[in-house]
Structure 1
Amino acid sequence: MKFFRLLDKVVLKIEEFILGYAVIIIALMVVGNALSRAFFSYSWSFANEVSQIAVVVATFMGISYAARKGRHISMSAFYDLAPFKVRKIASTLIPLMSAVVLFVLAYYSLLYVLNVRDSGTVTSALQMPAYIIYIAIPLGFFLGGIQFLRNMWINIVKRDDVYLGTDAKDYNDEEKTNVDEAAHL
């Protein structure tokens, strides 16, 4: 278990590093290119391509991070109104279905990456192999699938609370806990 906790912390730090620097790169490329055009009438030929690469990386590597933090997109109108038992069942089944979908997408996107690699396609400005950029897609789907399985598992193991992510309890339960704690004071 100690190994998996350490691995989880390392993966979290790598995700935070990648996401943080991807956003910084996007900002630098967009703002830098705009300033270069405005002041020097010169546009960076690589700026658009680097920005697109950073957006792809941030988007797909962010899947796992969002699932871990319980920040993924959800349609929660009915879920929020549901009683605890219904939310508990949903918080177990929804991550399972999400994980299955992400693993299927990881498989097909990996096939796509291999196809792009075999085609020898390169990017227009940087002339780098295009498949290197797309590696983030199956990797992000795979890590997201693992994270959703973890979300499902924590909801199975911890029976008294509902978790939206391994690092995030359901806010409906947090409000109830805060009210209960205030009543005891």
Structure 2
Amino acid sequence: MKRLFGLLGRIEELTLSLTFLGLALVAVIQVFCRYALDISFTWFEEAGRYVGIFATFLGASLGVKYASHFSMDLLISSAKPRVRKALHCGIGLLCGCAMLDLAFYGFRLVVRNYNFGNTSAAMQLPMYIAYLPIPFFALIMALRFYRIAWNALRGQLQTPKTDGGGQLS
């Protein structure tokens, strides 16, 4: 299971890097074409919006992996080890349930858009494709939160390690 999560993490990181690189490259091309050649791509703004949704949910999933989401841990850090373990487990379970709820309703939204047959204005992309990252990455986040809860229950609390320069190792 650890290997699966490791491989998933590396795929996510590579995908997010390539997504931002591609978005930046297309933006530079769009600006060059607009101002130098007086040509504008009508689909770019729409594509940028959907790629932004994709990158947001992918980044949120990686945020769970690295425990980099905003949190207030005064109560947890000042608690006794047994209470700390219970709090980490409970928070992991609660957040996992919230992400499963988001995945469920996101999936319903995808199905509803599929049934309606809506397409986007400029690209004529089926709208259910634009909404697919929501349930997909919410499910991955739920699995990661449940893994955090399981590790807390087993007494293996993991915190991200940095190399001193702010880079995760």
TM-score category (smaller protein): 0.7 to 0.9
- Alignment root-mean-square deviation, CA: 2.1
Q: Distance in 1 between matches of 2:35 and 2:80?
A: 57
Of residues 110-119 and 20-29 in structure 1, the stretch that sits farther from structure 2 once superposed is 20-29
Trace 1:18-167 onto structure 2 (pairs within 5 A). 18-76=15-73, 78-79=74-75, 82-85=78-81, 86-158=83-155, 162-164=157-159
The gaps in structure 2 that reach 5 residues or longer are 163-169
Deviations 1:123-155 (A, max 9, x none): 222212111121111001000000001111112
Query: Paired residue for 1:174?
Result: none
Is the Cα contact below 8 Å between 1:103 and 1:145 reproduced in 2? yes
In the alignment, structure 1 segments of 5+ residues that lack a partner are 172-185
Percent identity between matched residues is: 25
User: How does the TM-score come out when normalised to structure 2?
Assistant: 0.84
1:16 offset after TM fit, Å?
Answer: 1.4
Aligned 8 A contact 1:29 1:51 in 2: no
* Cα displacement string for residues 93-140 of structure 1 (whole angstroms, at most 9, x for unaligned residues): 111110000001100110000000111111222212111121111001
Change (3 A) 1:79 1:32: farther
Q: In the alignment, is the contact (CA less than 8 A) between 2:92 and 2:145 conserved in 1?
A: yes
The alignment's TM-score, normalised by the length of structure 1, stands at 0.77
For each residue in 1:52-103, what CA deviation from the matched residue of structure 2 results, as whole angstroms up to 9, or x when unmatched?
1211111112232211111122234x24752353443322211111000000
1:53 match: secondary structure: helix
